[in-house]
Structure 1
């Protein structure tokens, strides 16, 4: 299969400049993922960041994206709108280790602020002259689609290959069927020499085989297989013992 090798990865690793951190008692440095972070190596094809809410997944992905030059609210490198200044200062303490190759494309997809991104795309399309921005997303106004359709339009149309794509909870508006379709899209992008870093709660999304999974826990960061993740084990236990679990949950 075509795809980037370890030496060709666009982003090889990140390191926390721990000696410059003002205090590990304050946000975001007190978060388990940050407090335990020294160096994190990325798979040249797909890296998953998974864990329970509050572990710092979104904060970490945001810091990586901002350090790379992306807008904190998402989009391509040339998006510079701001709805609210809510991102942390973690990116100022991250050291990037880039590869020799440079990506031709890039996108920071953030489910939390995708509505703001779609609004900005619509605003840009209202301007006079210049190419249509929404044309890169399938041609239909993103706010004229359902939330899930709008998400999927970005994955299918805007991601062009040979790119570095950072995605925070892309499954948020996708049905299980669409999540499986996205898994197929990930494979296509990998075959087109793309590198993806994905934060997700979906066992379907994190099932891509040519990848590494980092699970964030209260004790820090550990590498895991799909079957070792809490997401997979809980979902499997629920589906295989639904009646028993429902009795326990609804007592």
Structure 2
């Protein structure tokens, strides 16, 4: 499949700038304190860095300012915002923005399964108490049956029959729209290497259809999307780099070549 070069003039989010940072803001997040202005010139921007470097904070800050939709289908409300240190510059407002994290998805699926199970147990208790065929039981069962029905409507089949990776891919794929803006934080926590490749192709194809992606990741596969702009956080600054020059990629290549030697 042929892929085109992404055009800067049709990017939704053009830049972020530092706003006033509260005095009590954690000093450990030097990325935020050093950030003055950062421009997005590509439909796919990938941010790499060690844990604690500030990449997740940056992603969440953008998500809050955009009132992005979260995994649970709700969007960030004004009263939730604790990341007012960022000011966004947009060329045009995206049709919809989403904030995904691999860990949030796993917790969300576990919560849905727990909710379904609790509803089933409540229905069993109602049937035992009132008799399954009684009018009282029918009325008492309705809210629990509605809960189960709503969850089934959201997801085809049983969530428990899908791996976390399959569930995440289906969930992600169903929310891809043209002109959408996607803020993704470490999706690899829910994905195998094979599924990291699958989501990379989904991202690549969606970007060519008009979507924009800002991704924080450690994944050597997701980072490898050929057209992406890659930035590595070093000493609190976002430094544009090539894939082959990323520290984790260099170490991975070394490990593959010298695996036995490194364990001696």
Q: Report TM bin, short chain.
A: 0.7 to 0.9
What CA deviation, in whole Å up to 9, does each residue of 1:3-25 have, x standing for no partner?
Answer: 752122111111111xx2232x7
Alignment counterpart, residue 95 of structure 1, candidates 59, 84, 87: 87
Other-structure match for 1:63: 61
Q: Once the two structures are superposed, what CA deviation does each residue of 1:25-44 show, in whole Å capped at 9, x if it has no partner?
A: 741x5312112111111233
- Choose 227-236 or 110-119, whichever is displaced more: 110-119
Q: Deviations over 1:164-204 (max 9, x none)?
A: 11110111121211111122111211121110011110111
Alignment of 1:144-223 (within 5 A): 144-223=161-240
1:115 alignment partner in structure 2: 106
Q: Give the Cα separation in 2 of the matches to 1:215 and 1:88.
A: 26
User: In structure 1, the residue corresponding to 2:52 is in which secondary structure?
Assistant: coil
Task: Supply the distance in 2 between the matched residues of 1:164 and 1:154 (Cα, whole angstroms).
Answer: 16
Distance 1:241 1:16 in 2: 43
Per-residue CA distance 1:134-183 (angstroms, 9 max, x = gap)? 6565x234454222122111222222333111110111121211111122
Change beyond 3 A, Cα 1:38–1:121:
farther
The root-mean-square deviation of aligned C-alpha atoms, in Å, is 3.1
Any conservation in 1 of the 2:15–2:88 contact (CA below 8 Å)? yes
Distance 1:199 1:134, change over 3 A: farther
1:242 and 2:251 aligned: no
- Structure 1 or 2: more helix by fraction: 2
Give TM-score, length-normalised by structure 1: 0.80
Structure 1 Cα separation of the partners of residues 55 and 182 of structure 2: 16
- Equivalent pair of 2:71/2:99 in contact (CA under 8 Å): yes
Matches within 5 A, 1:42-61: 42-61=40-59
> Which stretch of structure 1 is more off in the superposition, 155-164 or 8-17?
155-164
Q: Which has the larger radius of gyration?
A: 2
Q: Quick one: structure 1 residues 141 and 40, their matched pair in 2 at CA, closer, same or farther if it must change by over 3 Å? A: farther
The count of residues paired between Structure 1 and Structure 2 equals 233
Once the two structures are superposed, residues 101-123 of structure 1 have per-residue CA deviations (whole angstroms, 9 ceiling, x without a partner) of x3334321112222343366676
Paired position in structure 2 for 1:9: 11
CA distance in 2, matches of 1:126, 1:6: 49
- The 3-state SS of whatever aligns with 2:194 is helix
Structure 2 gaps, min length 5: 117-142
